[in-house]
Amino acid sequence: MAALDQRVRDLAARLGLRIGYIAAAGFNNVTGRPIRLIVLHDMEYPERPDGAEWCANFFASGRVRASAHYCVDNDSAVQGVDVEDVAWAAPGANHDGVQVEQAGFAAQSREQWLDPYSRAEMANTAKLVAALCVALDIPARHLTVAQILAGQRGIVAHRDVNAAYHRSDHSDMGPNYPWDVLLPQVQAHIDTLTRPTPTPPPPQEDDMAMTPDERTALAKEIGREVALALLDSPIGAGSDDAPASVGWGLYRIQSELMRIRGIIQQAVSKP
């Protein structure tokens, strides 16, 4: 598995989607191909929980000359072809596309594409497509036929590829596929994956808690201030004014202690 496949897996895993692997029998082994399209298909297979596994095993069996890079259903996703290789799924957009199969039928109504199974499947498709968009630098937009023919980058259905290049008669995923529900989910996942990792702001001086060294320094400062206050206080100097002097000394000590208490309160009240 190439680095690109691992990158897609890592991105999908960040969105909560794990991707299995069942190697398809048929594909073109190439390197360095330019990829500009994510091509969505439906399997023409019932909405069942084994859809992805069934489809991947079908492509692995060698009984059909077809393959896809990924098969998705309501509870899983399975890779069958490395992203850098060419899967055989949408003639006209095989060489520059990544192919994604989903359980369901092209004839489904919008309501059927939005039933509980389809919504669960779409959630997985959105995660996988978002991972592909980020890994391949493809925007989360549904291309028109004109945009496909103009060589633009984006997401298309197999039927769009056929409308552009007329290389097969496949009509998946039909006209009722709810792109308006899928694309916002894809974009939201892309935003999640590309949001810069928040870094904590550098701590400001005032916000920092005291370190043990700072506590020790403060304690020494307090001791020094108290000692100086005591030395400066004429406690017991002269017997005549002893009561007054003692009173004045106590006042000096008390006021010094209040000043120091203010310093301490300021220091320890910081979060």
Q: Can you tell me the distance from the alpha carbon of 98 to that of 82, in angstroms, rounded to the nearest whole number?
A: 9
Q: Binding string, 97-126, against Zn ion, x = CB under 5 A?
A: ------------------------------
The least CB distance from residue 16 to Zn ion, in Å, is 26
The least CB distance from residue 50 to Zn ion, in Å, is 19
Q: Which is nearer to Zn ion, 69 or 158 (CB)?
A: 158
Say if residues 138 and 15 touch (Cβ distance below 8 Å). no
Q: Which is nearer to Zn ion, 9 or 113 (CB)?
A: 113
The least CB distance from residue 40 to Zn ion, in Å, is 8
Around 61, how many Cα atoms within 13 Å sit in the side-chain half-sphere?
A: 8
Going from the C-alpha of 256 to that of each of 211, 220, 226, the distances in angstroms are 24, 15, 7
Q: Which is nearer to Zn ion, 148 or 190 (CB)?
A: 148
Per CB under 5 A, the segment of 36-44, 115-123, 124-132, 258-266 that binds Zn ion is 36-44
Q: Can you tell me the distance from the alpha carbon of 153 to that of 43, in angstroms, rounded to the nearest whole number?
A: 24
The least CB distance from residue 15 to Zn ion, in Å, is 24
Sheet holding 70-72, edge to edge: 19-21, 77-79, 70-72, 97-102, 37-42, 154-157
| Token code pair at residue 259 | 């000043």
At position 144, the amino acid (one-letter code) is T
Per CB under 5 A, the segment of 15-23, 39-47, 79-87, 248-256 that binds Zn ion is 39-47
Using CB under 5 A, count the residues that bind Zn ion: 4
Q: Which of 9, 36, 41, 127 binds Zn ion (CB under 5 A)?
A: 41
- Subset of 162-201 contacting Zn ion (CB under 5 A): 170, 172
**Which DSSP letter does residue 38 get?**
E
Considering Cα of 181, then 123, then 89, then 110, what sign does the dihedral take? negative
Q: Can you tell me the distance from the alpha carbon of 98 to that of 199, in angstroms, rounded to the nearest whole number?
A: 35
Q: Which is nearer to Zn ion, 160 or 172 (CB)?
A: 172
φ, ψ of residue 248 to 5 degrees: the values are -70, -40
Per CB under 5 A, the segment of 12-20, 150-158, 186-194, 232-240 that binds Zn ion is 150-158
The least CB distance from residue 167 to Zn ion, in Å, is 11
159 binding Zn ion? (CB under 5 A): no
The least CB distance from residue 89 to Zn ion, in Å, is 6
Q: Which is nearer to Zn ion, 5 or 172 (CB)?
A: 172
N residues, the chain: 271
Q: Which of 69, 127, 158, 189 binds Zn ion (CB under 5 A)?
A: 158
Q: Which is nearer to Zn ion, 9 or 170 (CB)?
A: 170
- Can you state the percent helix, strand and coil of the chain, rounding each to 5? 45, 10, 40
Binding site for Zn ion (CB under 5 A): 41, 158, 170, 172
